């Protein structure tokens, strides 16, 4: 036997020989009935395995929406950084870029709420707090406020640093506010 390579191989070989042993045992006193019993057993076993698999998929955590909402928030983070750089004078004030930043944030605000199904409470290192599902009305309110404030910032269309500062401050208060109540920042 070539079983010395890995312990995994050895396990397989042992399990295999066990199975063969039983088959030889049964066929030795073959009456035809034993074979029927055997195939019924196989069908039953297959059924159990199948329903177990279905159960697992029904209860498994849904990673796709978690990834989607994290990607949206990462975009939000990039937008906030770009705006912050302008505020600090690390990047020149650019009205078109400001408009793009607020538009992107508004886009995130409109989509973000779609990615919180019941089966996405854990998994993929999510930082979503249980409060999202425990207080859905409050979460919705935070989301709507973010939508409104980003829309107001787009409408304000800041053309100078001073008005940008105001609009950006109004919008980014939402980040802190919502994160305090609905995000568990694991990096902290
Ligand atoms: C309405 C609530 C809400 C608002 C408003 C909000 N966030 Fe978030 N944010 C969350 C939640 C919830 C998570 C955790 C998502 C997860 O991990 O499933 C998160 C996660 C993040 C992350 C981590 C993403 C990752 O890599 O997993 C960043 C960065 C972030 N937010 C930035 C921002 C910025 C910047 C703003 C404001 C412009 C903002 N957020 C506004 C709720 C919000």
Specify whether 80 is located in the same domain as 170: yes
Residue 144, domain member (yes or no): yes
Q: 123 and 44, same structural domain?
A: no
Q: Angle, nearest 10°, between helix axes 95-112 and 63-87?
A: 160
DSSP per residue over 122-161, as a string?
SSTT--B-THHHHSHHHHHHHHHHHHHHHHHHHHH---SH
Which of 98, 111, 179 is the best mutation target for the ligand 1 pocket, counting ligand atoms within 8 Å of the beta carbon and taking the most? 179
Q: Examine residue 187 and state whether it is found in any structural domain, yes or no.
A: no
Distance CA 80, CA 60 (A): 34
Rounded average pLDDT per 10-residue block, the chain, 188 residues: 39 38 42 54 55 51 94 98 97 98 98 97 95 98 98 98 98 98 87
Residues 124 and 171 in one domain: yes
Residue 128 main-chain phi, psi, to 5 deg: -65, 125
133 and 50 belong to one structural domain: no
Give pLDDT, residue 19: 39
- Specify if 67 maps to a domain: yes
Q: How far is the CA of 60 from the centre of ligand 1 (A)?
A: 24
Kindly state if the Cβ of 143 falls inside 6 Å of ligand 1: yes
> CATH number for the domain including 80?
1.20.120.10
Give CA 22 to chain center in angstroms. 46
Residue 139 alpha carbon, nearest atom of ligand 1: 1
Read off the pLDDT of residues 107-134 as tens digits, 9 standing for 90 and up. Answer: 999 999 999 999 999 999 999 999 999 9
Q: Which residues contact 129 (CB under 8 A, 6 or more apart)?
A: 181, 182, 183, 184
Tokens of 56: 């697992």
Rounded to 10°, the helix 7-28/33-59 angle is 140
Whether residue 168 has its Cβ less than 6 Å from ligand 1 = no
Q: Where does residue 105 rank: exposed (0-12), middle (13-18), buried (19+ CB within 10 A)?
A: buried
92-95: which pairs have CB atoms within 8 A and are 24 or more residues apart? Answer: 93/160, 93/161, 93/164, 95/157, 95/158, 95/159
Any domain includes 148: yes
Residue-number span of the structural domain to which 55 is assigned:
7-59
Element (H, E) at 162: helix 161-182
Q: Ligand 1 center to residue 127 CA distance, Å? A: 9
Are 127 and 68 contained in the same domain? yes
162 lies in some domain:
yes
Q: Give pLDDT, residue 21.
A: 37
Pocket test for ligand 1, best of 76, 113, 184 (most atoms within 8 A of CB): 76
Number of compact structural domains in the chain: 2
Which of 63, 65, 73, 129 should be mutated for ligand 1, with most atoms under 8 A from CB? 73
């Amino acid at each position: 036997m070539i079983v010395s390579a890995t312990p995994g191989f050895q396990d397989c070989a042992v399990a295999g020989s066990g199975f063969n042993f039983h088959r030889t045992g049964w066929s030795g006193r073959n009456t035809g009935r034993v074979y029927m019993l055997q195939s019924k057993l196989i069908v039953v076993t297959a059924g159990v395995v199948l329903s177990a698999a279905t159960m697992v998929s029904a209860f498994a955590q849904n990673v796709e929406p978690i990834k989607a909402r994290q990607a949206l928030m990462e975009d939000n983070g990039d937008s906030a950084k770009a705006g912050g750089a302008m505020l600090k004078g690390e990047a020149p004030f650019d009205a078109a870029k400001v408009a793009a930043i607020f538009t992107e944030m508004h886009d995130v605000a409109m989509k973000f709420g779609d990615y919180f199904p019941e089966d996405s409470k854990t998994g993929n290192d999510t930082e979503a707090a249980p409060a999202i599902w425990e207080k859905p009305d409050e979460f919705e309110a935070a989301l709507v406020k973010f939508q409104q404030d980003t829309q107001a910032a787009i409408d304000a269309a800041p053309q100078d640093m001073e008005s940008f500062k105001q609009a950006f401050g109004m919008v980014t208060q939402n980040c802190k506010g919502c994160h305090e109540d609905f995000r568990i920042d694991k990096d902290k």
